[in-house]
Amino acid sequence: MARKNQDEELELFDDETEVEELPPREQGRKFDPLRGDHGPLKHLVDSNFLQYASYVICDRAIPALEDGLKPVQRRILHALKEKDDGRFIKVANIVGHTMQYHPHGDASIADALVTLTNKRYLIEGQGNFGNIYTGDRAAASRYIECRLTKLAREELFNKELTEWIPSYDGRNKEPVSLPAKLPLMLMLGADGIAVGLSTSILPHNFIELLEAQIEILKEKKRSPVELNLLPDFQTGGLMDVSEYNKGNGKVKLRAKIESRKNNRIVITELPYGVTTDTLMASIEDAVKKKKVPVRQIDDFTAGKVEIELTLSQGASQEKAIQALYAFTKCENSVSSRLICLRENRPVEMTVDEVLRENTRQLLRILERELELKKAKLLDEFHNKTLVQIFVENRIYKRIEECETLEAVFKAIYDGLRPFRKQLKREIVDADIEMLLGVRIKRISLFDINKNRKEIEGIVAELEQVEKDLKGLVAYATRYLKRLIKEYKDEYPRLTVATGFQEVEVRELTATELQIRQDENGFIGTAVKGETILECSSLDKLLVVFNDGKYLVVPPPDKLFVDGNLNRCEVFDREKPYTCVYTDQRITYLKRFKIGGAIMNREYYMSQGDKSKLQLLADGTPEAIYVKYHPAKGQRINQQKFRPEGIAVKGVKSRGNRMTTKGIKYIGTEPGRWWDKDEAEAPDGVLL
């Protein structure tokens, strides 16, 4: 049977797919997978891939601009609202209820709920929801409880303004988006990896967002304002936003470190994305590599971060703090790329653009709420006025002798006709049915004065609603100011924005390593002998041999030089040198810069391994003094050469011809071998 179904599918493909015949000139060619037609299977894969990509982008990974939520977050909040009675509810119950709307497993729902709870704004938790400082996980969902916060309960939901669609199985209705009056996407932040794109939205301070929205609302009366919206993280710390670029750049973050007595420093706040465990592991690793002068680490973190570091004896607190920023996770950077769904399509936006759109949405929602309230007040005014007219004028007496329902309706219509001017809309059959539903007890106990006062209150409310609708911007401003006043103390800024001075890592580690040389012809950090150089582990070293050979190497543990070492120093590709070497009995002088070099590869400053390096000097010496070997008939035994006129070239250049005489002594200063009493010889000529 299965085989038959497969055959039918193949026949269906054959029927529906038109195979294009190749031109005669291309029929004998080899199939090209990049240009040839792959047939129905390719179209099937392409279609399925596009459907999957669209699903991941729109229904899983990317938040919506309209309410700032991902689908799982929206469904969790909707489930919480349906279950909300003001008391805490088992998280497991909410997870189970959310599964009516979310087509994925309970673990993903529980994780998303815990994450939302730890962001404080929308869900209040009771029990162990993990620790954002230590990275400890939350307890199982059957042991913890949650409920909506007052902020979420009052500002996110309105059934009458919500658009509903069937859930994935068609048994329930779920919201397309929540009518959120808050800029949730910037409040909460978001991370998501979809097919072909990802988003990273950093959280911002709630109160600062509201204050910025007030500035946006005032723009109608003045020129557009420059919004200075900066991220704010629950873990606190310090941040440098010079490269934030309005949500599409990066932020550098640092832990807050305080100096204490007895040579101790304490980490009190963490950079975003770093836990105490990962931070301590990075510090321990830096201590092992002798990059940070710490001899003891104590973690006292509970409700707040407190990692106490005891420094090595004689260590500077200031330098230790700089080393922590340079070599541990006390400093890190977080990239930000604001991609969201606008009208179910992914778009890249800036923080300013998102907040302006949120502000426009706030105005739309407030206007719809006012219109809804106006309609309800009008209905209430209409009903109370009808009841008052119905009772005061004893219109109910007219129906006592009516024999049919049509006659009852006509009698009431006729009785109400003289009072139509007191109403704000026409009377309909539903109004008559409402009046017929008034109980006799209510008629007998009807309080005319109380009813008139209620009507007057409704009229006053209607006037205020009309006023608010005409002055919608002022109404929205008052709404935002009320939120700021109510929540300002609850949500202060936690992360301090400041500029960072770059840590000079090489300065901190300039004497980190000691290069020694022993009697067996070895140099390196693991060699016992005389120290010839102090350097950083970040440095590259230039090792020069007496035959002109040189290497560029990282600081070696042990390198054999066989007593043939000319010099070992920190490599600087732009440093100028003056070199004198002899090749095939001819001595040359040249000035050069080494430039680039491949690590651990052999190069020559001279012309090959048969050359001899006579002199290698830094920069350009004022003069080079040369003493020649004595020779029969030789009238000039010593000379002075001035290299400043020689052009600086590459290290591979041959240089200028200096002499063909054998050199006995050479130096940049006249040594004891220089004969001052000898008649002064003419300066040497460089050819």
Return the structure tokens found at 8: 């039918």
Domain membership of residue 449 (yes or no) is yes
CA distance 425 to 603: 98
Q: What is the pTM of this model?
A: 0.75
Residue 607 lies in a domain: yes
381 in a domain, yes or no?
yes
Contact 617, 578 (CB under 8 A): yes
C-alpha closest to that of 189 among 354, 365, 333: 354
CA distance 210 to 201: 18
pLDDT, one tens digit per residue, over 281-323 is 999 999 988 888 899 999 998 889 999 999 988 888 988 998 8
For 263, residues 6+ apart whose C-beta sits below 8 A from its C-beta are 310, 311, 313, 315, 317
Query: Which of 307, 329, 351 marks a domain boundary?
Result: 329
pLDDT at residue 361 greater than cutoff 90:
yes
CATH code for position 175: 3.90.199.10
In this structure, are 444 and 588 located in the same domain? no
The residue among 163, 179, 195 that closes a domain is 179
**560 contacts 527 by C-beta, under 8 angstroms:** no
Per residue in 180-222, pLDDT tens? 999 999 999 999 887 778 899 999 999 999 999 999 998 866 6
What are 395's two structure tokens?
Answer: 């219109």
Taking residue 367's Cβ as centre, other Cβ atoms within 10 Å add up to 15
Which residues are within 8 A (CB) of 517 and not within 5 positions of it... i.e. 6 or more apart? Answer: 523, 527, 529, 530, 532, 561, 565
**Domain shared by 634 and 595, yes or no:** yes
Is 628 in the same domain as 527? yes
Using an 8 Å Cβ cutoff, are 243 and 249 in contact?
A: yes
For residues 158 and 108, membership in a common domain is answered with yes
Q: Is residue 468 part of a domain?
A: yes
pLDDT interval class at 13 (50, 70, 90): very low
pLDDT above 70 for 470: yes
303 and 375 fall within a common domain = no
Query: Average pLDDT of 487-505?
Result: 84
CB 58 within 8 A of CB 177: no
Neighbours of 543 (CB within 10 A): 20
In a 13 Å sphere around the CA of 147, the CA atoms on its Cβ side amount to 11
Total domain count for the chain?
Answer: 4
SS3 track for 448-511: HHHHHHHHHHHHHHHHHHHHHHHCHHHHHHHHHHHHHHHHCCCCCCCCEECCCCCCCHHHHCCC
User: What mean pLDDT value characterizes the chain?
Assistant: 86
- Mean per-residue pLDDT, 333-342: 92
Higher pLDDT, 398 or 272: 272
Distance CA 401, CA 386 (A): 22
Q: Are residues 475 and 546 in the same domain?
A: no
Is 603 catalytic? The answer is no
Question: Rounded distance, CA 389 to CA 381, Å?
Answer: 12
Distance CA(489)–CA(271), nearest Å, equals 23
pLDDT reading at 5 higher than 70: no
| CB 634, CB 611: distance < 8 Å | no
DSSP code of 231?
A: B
pLDDT at 161: 94
* Contact criterion met (CB below 8 Å) for 84 and 148: yes
Domain containing 375 — which CATH number?
Answer: 1.10.268
Determine the Cα–Cα distance for residues 466 and 482; give it in Å rounded to an integer: 20
Model pLDDT for residues 639-675, shown as the tens digit of each residue: 888 888 888 888 888 888 888 888 888 888 888 888 8
Nearest one of 224, 219, 149 to 187, comparing CA atoms: 149
Three-class DSSP category at 5: helix
Would 597 be classed as within a structural domain? yes
Q: Which residues, other chains included, contact 229 with Cβ-Cβ below 8 Å and sequence gap of 6+?
A: 186, 204, 208, 209, 212, 246, 351, 352, 355
Q: Quick count: other Cβ atoms within 10 Å of Cβ 204?
A: 25
* Segments forming the whole domain that contains residue 593: 512-667
In contact, 219 and 360? CB cutoff 8 Å: no
605 and 540 in one domain? yes
Same domain? 106 vs 161: yes
Mean of the pLDDT values across residues 610-628?
87
Residues 6+ apart with CB under 8 A from 14: none
Q: How confident is the model at residue 163 (pLDDT cuts 50, 70, 90)?
A: very high
| Token reading at 117 | 């709870």
CA distance 314 to 577: 39
Beta bridge partners of 345: 342
Neighbours of 133 (CB within 10 A): 23
The verdict on residue 562 lying in a domain is yes
Q: Are residues 323 and 379 in the same domain?
A: no
Do residues 266 and 258 make contact, with C-beta atoms less than 8 angstroms apart?
Answer: yes
Q: Same structural domain for residues 539 and 477? A: no
Q: Does residue 34 form part of some domain?
A: no
Q: Which has the minimum average pLDDT: 21-30, 609-618, 631-640? A: 21-30
For residue 597 the two structure tokens come to 């070099």
232-270 pLDDT, tens digit each: 999 999 999 989 999 999 999 999 999 998 889 999 999
Q: Mean pLDDT over residues 82-94, rounded?
A: 95
3-state SS, 258-269, equals: EEECCCEEEEEE
Residue range 93-128, pLDDT digits in tens: 999 999 999 988 899 999 999 999 999 999 999 999
Residue 180, both tokens: 């959120």
Q: How confident is the model at residue 425 (pLDDT cuts 50, 70, 90)?
A: confident
Q: Which of 116, 95, 121, 117 is nearest to 107 (CA)?
A: 95
Reported as a pLDDT band with limits 50, 70 and 90, residue 45 is low
Of 121, 143, 168, 396, the active-site residue reads 143
Q: What is the mean pLDDT of residues 523-537?
A: 85
CA nearest neighbour of 559 among 509, 602, 612, 594: 602
CA-derived radius of gyration, the chain: 42
* Tokens 């050469």, residue located: 641
Q: Tell me what pLDDT residue 118 has.
A: 95
Distances (CA, A) of 129 to 3, 118, 276: 53, 7, 17
Residue 63 has pLDDT above 80, yes or no: yes
Q: For residue 382, give Cα distances in angstroms to 262, 278, 375, 397, 458.
A: 79, 66, 10, 21, 10
**Residue 299 maps to which CATH number?**
3.30.1360.40
Q: Is the pLDDT of residue 535 over 90?
A: no
Q: Please, which residues bridge with residue 266 across strands?
A: 258, 308
Same domain, 652 and 564: yes
pLDDT at 2: 41
Tokens, residue 537: 């582990």
Tell whether the model's pLDDT for residue 15 goes beyond 50. no
State residue 219's pLDDT score: 82
CATH number for position 634: 2.120.10.90
51 in a domain, yes or no?
no
The token pair at 119 is: 């962001």
Co-location of 418 and 564 in the same domain: no
Across 280-431, where does the E strand assignment appear? 294-299, 307-311, 331-335, 339-342, 345-348
Per-residue confidence (pLDDT) for residue 3, from 0 to 100: 41
In angstroms, rounded to a whole number, what is the distance separating the alpha carbons of residues 120 and 204?
A: 13
